Amino acid sequence: MAGCEAAYQLAKRGVSVNLYEMKPAKKSPAHKSDMFAELVCSNSFKADRVNSAAGLLKEEMRNLDSILLKAAKKARVPAGGALAVDRDIFSKIVTDEIKSNKNINVINKEITSINQFEITVIATGPLTSDALADRINEIFGDSLSFFDAAAPIVDFKSVDMSKAFFESRYGKGDKTDYLNCPMNKEEYEVFYEALVNAERAPINDFDVRDPKVYEGCMPIEVMAQRGHDTIRFGPMKPVGLTDPNTGHRPWAVLQLRKENSSGTMYNLVGFQTNLKFPEQKRVFGLIPALKNAEFVRYGVMHRNTFLNSPKVLNNDFSVKSYPNLFFAGQITGVEGYMESASSGIIAGINAYRRLNGEDTVLLPETTMLGSLSRYIADDTVKDFQPMGANFGILPELINRPRDKKERGQAYADRSLSDLKIYLESVRL
């Protein structure tokens, strides 16, 4: 999906593009179709209303002439407020558009090597072939992950600070490094029972084909099943902490760690999980400080090839050490169909500008696209994991509405206004 967007952005500007696609000769374990832009999971691109994070991202993409959203409009099927498509019609439209473009030369061949000095966009999706993954690791020094085991992330503003406190264990480090969510024994008992009995999401066979990988990122619910107090001596250990509300050490503690440099998002430390999304909200909401928490990203576990992008990439999707080489799509650490496609748009535009000796562009940080671009290159992010569109990555509103829909509309109004001004000032 990102590769199609990047190729289209270059081709529409008159550049002759070689687009390499290893299908149909070779497919990843997730792919079945011979067509481009294959939807391997859901046929939904999430909410379409502009006051949602997903809807705002799509509106920004429309402003940048997304080929996939034009195809989605033609292939749309009823799905309430979501943008969903007939997956076969959608893929056929994209495939026909790409193959009929006079500036795009499609070459059906697996790429196993990289010329770091030729202007190139690598957009290999979440399951990069083994040979190319090996080459990427060889060039960038073991910078690829092969299993996406992400803990949930919450909006800091939604944490109940009357039931949480900042402190590092034994007073080591900066006091604000960790936000602690304590529980007494009764609260822990209720939480524990809910956790071990919660409903889990299915995992594909190819997701866990390496048991060592799966063991290394064990879900919190699996760890809990090993014993009633296992997680109290693991991710939820209370040692070295004193709850200022009681003056005593808590029975158990969930620690939250700052996810971005602005501190608008915090991740649940050690809480990699494979629970279904509604179950995550229900079970983790039993922790008193998170009772009304807004989750900007739920935990996920699946096979996923992605870069340690803060180490490797600039925020224009170019490689720090090789400015003619760009990455796009899920391999960069963006999560989701449209997020992947949007990164392809930016990588394609910037590859064109590099080709013409122009400065690359970065959209305003108030836009979803601009903030996603910055997030994947934010070197203050520790233990980098993929991120999808959410309002938590945007700069805080000056006057933040309490109502969630009004807040979303305020984010959208600011973004689209700033994007319009930016596009008028920069020739893209």
pLDDT in tens, the chain (428 residues): 999 999 999 999 999 999 999 988 887 666 677 899 988 777 889 999 999 999 999 999 999 999 999 999 999 987 878 898 988 899 999 999 999 999 999 999 999 999 999 999 999 987 788 889 889 989 988 777 766 667 899 999 999 999 999 988 877 767 777 899 999 999 999 999 999 999 988 765 445 444 444 455 678 998 999 999 999 998 999 999 999 999 999 999 999 988 777 788 898 988 988 899 999 999 999 999 999 999 988 988 767 788 999 999 999 999 999 999 999 999 999 988 999 999 999 999 999 999 999 999 999 999 999 999 999 999 888 778 888 999 989 999 998 898 989 999 999 999 999 999 999 999 88
Reported in sequence order, the residue ranges of 224-363 that DSSP labels E, i.e. its strands, are 252-258, 265-268, 295-297, 300-307, 325-327
Q: Same structural domain for residues 244 and 331? A: no
pLDDT at 103: 98
Q: Same structural domain for residues 274 and 287? A: yes
For residue 294, the 8-state DSSP code is P
Q: Same structural domain for residues 132 and 22? A: yes
CA atoms within 13 A on the CB side of 404: 13
Q: Same structural domain for residues 360 and 384? A: yes
Q: Same structural domain for residues 92 and 127? A: yes
**Which of 266, 298, 330 is a domain's end point?**
298
DSSP tally for the chain: helices H, then strands E: 13, 15
Q: What's the sign of the alpha-carbon dihedral 148, 330, 351, 317?
A: negative
pLDDT at 157: 92
**Which of 278, 298, 318 is a domain's end point?**
298
Which CATH number does the domain housing residue 194 bear? 2.40.30.260
- CB distance 299 to 152 below 8 Å: yes
Chain centroid to Cα 67, Å, comes to 21
Q: Same structural domain for residues 125 and 251? A: no
d(CA 129, CA 33): 16
d(CA 150, CA 298): 8
pLDDT at 312: 94
Q: Same structural domain for residues 17 and 105? A: yes
Q: Same structural domain for residues 122 and 222? A: no
Q: Same structural domain for residues 226 and 312? A: no
CA atoms within 13 A on the CB side of 29: 13
Query: What's the Rg (C-alpha) of the chain?
Result: 22
**Cβ density class 42-80: b for 16+ within 10 Å, e for less:** ebbbbbbbbbbbbbbbbbbbebbebbbbebbeebbeeee
Domain residue limits at 175: 153-298
Q: Same structural domain for residues 307 and 417? A: yes
pLDDT at 147: 65
Tokens of 177: 């490094």
Instruction: Give percent helix, percent strand, percent coil of the chain, each to the nearest 5.
Output: 40, 15, 45
Number of domains in the chain: 2
pLDDT at 142: 75
Q: Same structural domain for residues 231 and 322? A: no
Question: The tokens 């949480």 sit on which residue?
Answer: 164
**Which of 269, 298, 327 is a domain's end point?**
298
Which CATH number does the domain housing residue 343 bear? 3.50.50.60
d(CA 283, CA 25): 45
Tokens of 86: 């007939």
Q: Same structural domain for residues 195 and 135? A: no
Total Cβ atoms within 10 A of residue 222: 16
